[in-house]
Chain A
Amino acid sequence: MSTTSSTQTLSPSATLEKPRTGTWDGGNEPFKASYGKLMMWFFLLSDAFTFAAFLTAYGLIRHRHLAYVGNAKEFVFSTAYWPIPEKVFNAFPGFHGVDLPLAFVALMTMILIFSSVTMVLAVEAGQRMDKADVQKWLLWTILFGATFVSCQALEWSHFIEGTEAGTKMADGSIFHGANLAMNQYGPPLFGDLFFFITGFHGTHVFSGLCLLTWSFIATTNGTFEKRGHYEMVEKIGLYWHFVDLVWVFVFTFFYLV
């Protein structure tokens, strides 16, 4: 066994198997995309199914509950109906007690869109084999991504801590903030969906940050330059844009609608 393989690899007269070129013989590339990129697309499609399942569950559960009817100015939290999002998400770190509806989430959205732009710039630099530019834009992307995750941590801690006034629950006690069993903003499932949807998205951002950090190190070590192409940065870029894409939908369905 070992002798056969060594003669095959070492003998200069050995003939290699000819590449197959027939249409049904592996010779065609119908998608004209590399294996890695294609698999990244299929992974993202499957990931989109997961997020779509989350958002569909959100839609079903929200419509299963009563909606608040009446003047938005007189809105108070109650477990009897679904809350108005801009009444829940109206805090901004550093502005305690000031009513700033959706301001913080607006900032987070901008940060994530901006990180998407720096990611495309890194991919573009990679296509030009410009190592210094790839490093620069990857670092910016890591910075914006990390800022986004930190903002989400602040958002979560405020959501968990709640307002000073709290909400009177059915048993007459005052409850502040949220956990998985109950929350002061509305039905228990409102808090659960918030934790699961934004949490799952945040986990994706964190995974993206790990990949970006790794690709920054590999770029610095010259791994991609030796390989002759920066396709790995393109694949991680696809993932990163997908995370931004999911946020666009989470933002609309959780915060705006």
Chain B
Amino acid sequence: MAHHAANSPVQVGEIPKPNTGWIWKTFFILVAITAVEFLLAFTMPAGTFRNSIFIVMTILKAFFIVAEFMHLKHETKALIWTILVPMALLVWLLVALVSEGSSIGESVFNAFK
């Protein structure tokens, strides 16, 4: 894959047959997860439990897009970690600031009660 010579000759002869099975498999997984999300949005009562399910499913979808469609699964370990570690730190930021938001709201609405 990394050996693209800039002036390699144009391919002659037969074009190989497409190998698209894995693409459609990933597609059906993504569609199935999205369908389940919609099902839950209308059948389950809203709350922390439902939201946790949504977030887990979102991360699952993100995994399939990044690993298969963006091919990160087949890159070197060093590249995988270079991308994943900063993103993991962002999850920390998200959790920290969401709880910060709750406590700001708490002090705004309940300070004089």
Contact = CB atoms under 8 A, between A and B. Distances in A.
Contact of A48 (B1, B6, B87, B105): B87
Contacts of B19: 124
Contacts of A229: 4, 8
Interface residues of B, number: 59
Contact of B23 (A66, A72, A102, A120): A120
Q: Is the interface of A mostly helix, strand, loop or mixed?
A: helix
B24 interface: yes
**Chain A interface: which size bin?**
35 or more
Given A49-B90, A252-B54, A228 B109 contact: no
Nearest to B75: A33
A30 B23 contact: no
Nearest to B2: A32
Interface string A222-257: 000111110100000110011011001101100011
Contact of A64 (B6, B16, B18, B101): B101
Interface in A32-62: 32-34, 38, 41, 45, 48-49, 52, 55-57, 59-62
Contacts of A125: 18
Interface of B: 1-2, 4-11, 15-16, 18-20, 23-24, 26-27, 30-31, 34, 37-38, 41-42, 46, 51, 54-55, 57-58, 61-62, 65-66, 69-70, 75-76, 78-79, 82-83, 86-87, 90, 93-94, 97-102, 104-105, 108-109
Interface of A: 29-34, 38, 41, 45, 48-49, 52, 55-57, 59-66, 72, 84, 86, 101-102, 106, 109-110, 113-114, 116-117, 119-121, 124-125, 128-130, 133, 225-229, 231, 237-238, 241-242, 244-245, 248-249, 251-252, 256-257
